[in-house]
Structure 1
Amino acid sequence: MTDDVTDQGYRSIFTTAQDGLRLHARDYGERHWTRLPVVCLAGLTRNAIDFHDLALALSNHRHRPRRVVALDYRGRGQSDWDPDWKNYDVRVEVGDVMAQLAALGVEQAVFIGTSRGGLVTMGLAAARPALIRGAVLNDIGPVIEARGLLRIRSYVGKLAPPRTFLEAADLLRRISDARFPALSNDDWETLARGSFLEREGRLEPSYDPALMKPLAALDFEAPLPTVWPLFHGLAHAPILAIRGEHSDLLSPETLDAMEQAHPGLERWIVPGQGHAPLLRDAPTVNRIASFVAAVEDSPRPAAERGDLARA
């Protein structure tokens, strides 16, 4: 494990996956803090940058500062690209996350999963339930709308690299403005900086374009499989389900069904945003901070305590 200190409120930490790939994480906050940490997991093509503002807010909270870890999956952000695109699979990413958290000394946390990050969180609940004290599922549920995946498939790995971040922000605005009317110019630039990285004076996608291959293999003529069994694996944990008002991936009907299946589930709708909310507007940041604090104050179920003792 290697450790690079930055002046932006976090440390860049690199660990090694079981197959030798180098994986990156941002670590916000002092390690010696005893408060319940937060782990942030990004969407399909996204990375740790997406959580920067939220992580700063939580790690520097006036009353309850805490450690926040934001991870880059393989093939995203500053993590290595995988030479075998078939490893861009949620099951592999679950294993990577468990290895990263073990190296970082995180034994339990509240997980914030955006889109694919929510699926990884559900996978972790099946593999290591003791890791999860609570979950924030950002615009994702056990039923994924095909139209949302089709939209994502239409651009993943196909965007021409822009010359500047301002040009990148304009590009993303043209693609998604109809679903995100509430975003400011600063929001679009923040989104752009998570979509492209500057390497040797040029902007390149912040993800391996081979991520398109698993999407291309999906058969949209048949109904997409649901992941209700994985969602039920979160039965032991409080859930805050966030939905963008204009989301095309998480439907209101699925959100209702999630609430019926998990009576303790809380919901939060982000106005003027689609899939997936940026989690940087003040009301949403405050709502997440309150949820994390409430999870920290709640006792762990006896079964979960037993799992942790055996882990």
Structure 2
Amino acid sequence: MFGLLKREKKTGNASGGYRWGELKTADGPVVRYRLYDGNPDIAPVLCLHGLTRNSRDFEELAPMIAEATGRRVIVPEMRGRGRSDADPQPERYNPAVYVADVLALLEDLNVEKALWVGTSMGGLITMIAAHSDPEKVAAAAINDIGPELQTEGITRIESYVCGDSGPAKDWREAAERTKGVNGVAFPGETQEFWERFAWRLYRETPDGLVLDYDTAISGNVSKGETAPPDMWPFFEALKPVPTLLFRGAITDLLDPETVARMQEIKPDLAVVEVAGVGHAPFMTEPDAWPKLEAFLKAQKA
């Protein structure tokens, strides 16, 4: 597992690598992103992570997308996550600010439109962006998120985001904690899987291994301010946009009734259920990747 740490040094798409870029936001914090090279004359793919996650969530998927489509792949880390700066004003940890950051990043990179791939909170960001700046969203792949969320899943997320278990003493303990929180979503997985998962979530400090996000984001989570109160108008903004929805078959966040209503509003919504996975699929699963690959390859932007 610990050889995974060497992957941060890779460069060049031939090795599945990337280079880092950064954007100084209008209100101060620097947002950093991975950039995988591709054809600059076609729309890039923008991969957006979930609430407490970072660009390492896409360490496998992003190079797969770059190789399969020939497109550039942009993987930002939202402020307060990974290598991006923490925000000195925690109230700015909210989707409206994240959307503004992502749109500013696209402008900085001279990107007129992109194919958006959003997991969980990244999917909410995609919906809001489609509402606020529809020309920027050429296509959308939404991963295990919808305009309504199940209470069970919200409660589970709140329990670990707002909890404080302190640093893990080593990677084995970090893997155990990762399994404790996410085991319900990935039953029957191997120790290697949990070690890799932990590496995506934790960073090393002199005091031990800590989750790689600013714990101040928990303030808005505890107040229920992780998304606008009514997300349906934002989902409706995707009606003219080619959209693919992934749902983990055992997810506790996105129920079949919500998916059915989404399909009523958008009859051409493509839906893929990922077997044996909860919240949220990595989209590299055998049920998911071929569908995502075909969807992205079909886009003309």
TM-score by length of 2: 0.89
User: Aligned AA for 1:285?
Assistant: W
Structure-2 separation of matches of 1:187 and 1:136: 24
Aligned residue number for residue 128 of structure 2? 123
The Cα shift of 1:150 comes to 1.0
Q: Which portions of structure 1, spanning 4 or more consecutive aligned residues, are displaced by more than 4 angstroms?
A: none
**1:87–1:268 distance in 2 versus 1, CA, 3 Å:** same
Aligned position for 1:281: 285
What residue identity is the alignment partner of 2:82? Answer: G
Give 1:52's aligned amino acid. E
Kept in 1: contact 2:167–2:207 (CA 8 A): no
Q: Is the Cα contact below 8 Å between 2:185 and 2:250 reproduced in 1?
A: yes
Displacement of 1:198 after TM fit? 2.2
Q: Which moved more, 1:278-287 or 1:136-145?
A: 278-287
Residue of structure 2 equivalent to 1:267: 271
1:84-136, CA deviations, whole angstroms, 9 ceiling, x for partnerless residues?
A: 11000111111011111111222211101111111111111111101111111
1:113–1:136 contact (8 Å) kept in structure 2:
yes
- Paired residue for 1:16, among 24, 30, 40? 24
Task: Tell me the residue number matched to 1:137.
Answer: 142
Deviation at 1:153, TM superposition (A): 0.7
Indicate the larger mover: 152-161 or 104-113.
Answer: 152-161
1:109 to 104, 109, 114: 114
Q: Distance in 2 between matches of 1:112 and 1:6?
A: 23
Asked if the contact 1:51–1:279 (Cα under 8 Å) also holds between the matched residues in 2, the reply is no
Alignment of 1:43 with 2:50, yes or no, is yes
Matched, 1:152 2:160: no
Q: Deviations over 1:265-291 (max 9, x none)?
A: 001111111111122224412211111
State the alpha-carbon separation in 2 of the partners of residues 185 and 291 from structure 1: 32
Shift in Å, 1:174: 2.1
Aligned to 2:3: none
Task: Note if contact 1:57-1:285 (Cα within 8 Å) is conserved in structure 2.
Answer: no
TM-score normalised per structure 1: 0.87
Residue 189 (structure 2) pairs with residue 183 (structure 1): yes
Find out whether 1:213 has 2:219 as its counterpart: yes
Q: What does the per-residue CA deviation read over 1:155-188, in whole Å, with 9 as the maximum and x for residues that have no partner?
A: 1152332123332122111222233115343332
For the structure 1 residues 34 and 165, does the alpha-carbon distance in structure 2 shift closer, same or farther, using more than 3 Å as the test? Answer: farther
Which stretch shows the higher mean deviation, 34-43 or 45-54?
A: 34-43
Check whether the contact 2:185–2:280 (CA below 8 A) recurs between aligned residues.
no
Cα 1:185–1:34 change in 2 (3 A) is farther
Amino acid at match of 1:235: K
Q: Give the letter aligned to residue 132 of structure 2.
A: A
1:256 is displaced (CA, Å) by: 1.0
Contact 1:14–1:23 (Cα < 8 Å) also in 2: yes
CA distance 1:188–1:279, shift in 2 (3 Å): farther
Q: Provide, for residues 229-281 of structure 1, a one-character-per-residue CA deviation record: whole Å limited to 9, x for no partner.
A: 00001111011110111111111110111111101100111111111112222
Q: Secondary structure at the match of 1:60?
A: helix
Structure 1 distance, partners of 2:186, 2:263, is 25
From 222, 229, 244, the equivalent of 1:225 is: 229
Distance 2:29 2:139 in 1: 29
Q: Deviations over 1:3-27 (max 9, x none)?
A: x984361111111000121111010
1:11 maps to a residue whose letter is R
In structure 2, distance between residues paired with 1:5 and 1:168: 23
Give the aligned CA root-mean-square deviation in angstroms. Answer: 2.0
Do the aligned residues in 1 keep the contact of 2:275 with 2:287 (CA within 8 Å)? Answer: no
Q: How much does 1:71 deviate?
A: 0.9
Deviates more, 1:282-291 or 1:184-193: 184-193
Matched residue SS, 1:12: strand
Q: How many equivalent residue pairs?
A: 287
In the alignment, is the contact (CA less than 8 A) between 1:108 and 1:130 conserved in 2? yes
The answer (yes or no) to whether the contact 1:182–1:273 under 8 Å persists in 2 is: no
Instruction: Please report how far the alpha carbon of residue 201 of structure 1 lies from its aligned counterpart in structure 2 after TM superposition.
Output: 7.8
Contact map agreement 1:5 1:12 (CA 8 A) in 2: no
The answer on 1:162 being equivalent to 2:168 is yes
